[in-house]
Structure 1
Amino acid sequence: MEWFKSLNWAAVIEWLNTFVADLSPLLAAVGVPEEYRPLATFGILYLGVTVVVLLFALLLLKIFRKPKQPEPGVEQTGGEVDDSPRGEEVATVEPGPAVELKEEPKEEPKEEKTPELEPTSGLFERFKRGLSMTQSSLVGRVDSLLRGRAVIDEDLIEELEEILITADLGMPTTQQLIKSIEVSRAKGELVSPDQVRQLLMEELKKILMFDSKPLDVTSASPFVIMVVGVNGVGKTTTIGKLANQFAQSGKKVILGAGDTFRAAAAEQLQIWADRAEVEVICHTEGTDPGAVAFDAAKAAVARKADILLLDTAGRLHTKVNLMEELKKIRRVLDREIPGAPHEVLLVL
């Protein structure tokens, strides 16, 4: 610090004044205003001092930095490095008798066993599998409700009604079943929940009972069969199979492509008709199905066909406009052929 104390500050201040005086003309030439020239001068001076200090610091780092020491046990030589271990002799291999290599026998490729196809389930098994959902959603819930009750009261009847409705039995069927239970309860015929279950079984059997008489296609000529159902259940395929069966039995069959809504429905029906060698009456896509029914009925009467099979577009019973369209088709058929359609097939 002695050099700092012996520094002549008067000379330093004089040098700074001289530096400012010499730099002011240059700043004026550049266009710096007079009031900012001293500030700009000191800024330049500060920047220069900072650069000098940084350079001095870098110089010191370079001087006092320790050289990297070589790792112990590693000799740095200018020549090639001998990878062979010291003190060990390199073993030489003397040539011996030639050894014959025997080829290993190739393994024959094993034949892959084709997976055995599971046998297709029969009709009864498919029915059983389909009704298992009904077993769990309807019968199981009814049994659970009746199992925990000892008295038949209004709460039990209300819960039973809710189960029947949510099981998609429909409102008319549910009301009919509940009414039968209430009438029997008022008469004193129902005492235990088991009797309620037995009554439900008997009423459902009555609802499902129908006369299973065979289809008599000779009762009218032409005999008109209208095929209905929801989307994708196989109405057109069923018509093709029926047409083939009737044609093989010697009947003259005409098909009506009443499904004008689904794309390529008429083309699909035409393929079935070609296989069964029967005629098809069809219009372009989007045509009124009532017009197709009219032309098909006219053609069946004019060509003295025995059977007219009319295809319809898939529809839900909740769609009022589509159900009204179905009523219109029935009216058109009945007007052209009294009593038609003589049979309506619901494909499920």
Structure 2
Amino acid sequence: MSLTIDITALPDERLLFTPSPLAELNAMLHVLAEPAHHPALHGWAASTTASIPPGLSERLLEADFLWRSSRADFLVPSVPGATLAEELDAVDRLDDEVYVAAALITTCGSSRITRRLGSPLTDPAAEERARDLALARGPRQAAFADRLLADPLVVRALVRRMMEDCQEAFFADAWQRVLPDLAADARQKADLLARRGPEEALAAVSPSVGLETGADGRRRIVIDKLQDSATSAVGAGGVTFIPTAFGRPHLLVVHAAGWRPVVQYPLAESGVPEPVSLAVIQQRLEALAHPVRLRLARTMARGPHTTGELASAWHLSAPEVSRHLAVLRKAGLLTTHRRGRYMLYQLDLAGSARLGSDLLEAVLR
């Protein structure tokens, strides 16, 4: 499963690496709305939440579906500006139909309403569909959709004012603190692109991002995500890559039709393990789903064992144990070392823990 961006015949210089204040603000807002996604930022989220004025806090809660589970397209600029005000000015230049369609995607939790219908601002059927979908999501979403469809200019002004109030309340200080690292990362990726080409630059963005050239000669950026979708950057003028200090573990991709694709990626951090591909995760889950292999994992979690010791402990034949060990080893769940003529197998506790603390507790119980 992956998301692909077609960049066939696109010059390398059309891959843009740059920070974005508006995108980073909305990464912060997502952390405040979903702190469980970001355990490393619990301290920041708690202190920031406590410092936000009550009035602003209430307004953020009313509109948090704009950044909670997905991000409205206009909140992740495809052509970032130097300041938040500059990027908000660019949002103001969007026409109402584009703005409303982007806002309703997050409000209604559905695919583009206008794919089969017209604009909800001009098509009664599209408007009714948007209101119904928003109502199904909850009363706050329904109220927001009603206001947006009734008077988009008023809602747009309210959202902009909310972003400006966030800048005053907490964003300005946080942005000044993280901007040097974001700018340095963007420069490093741009330098890699110029000197070594897009393959190395994309690999430096994340192990989950790569470049693929198909048998048909088409070049695609392939992003390892739990979804199957595709878009093209050729007609949109390129791809924008925005580093974030507040986005981990998310690798956000905005790829609405007619918009330049944007990838917001977390800064590399020392001591933080690199993400494992979805294929490897699936392989590990399947390896541990077998009851015999789970029992063997329990024994090997307590220390290194030979094949014979494992066979004796679980009343299995040595060849049967060897077959199960091969599956676990191929999934990257075992460590091995030799003692004389014996090979010792042990469960990789660090790798297993990344699948979940409940799993690790169960095998150690």
Rg comparison, structure with higher value = 1
Q: Under a length normalisation based on structure 2, what TM-score does the superposition of the two structures give?
A: 0.20
What TM-score results when the alignment is normalised by the length of structure 1? 0.21
Relative to total residues, which structure has the larger helix share, 1 or 2?
2
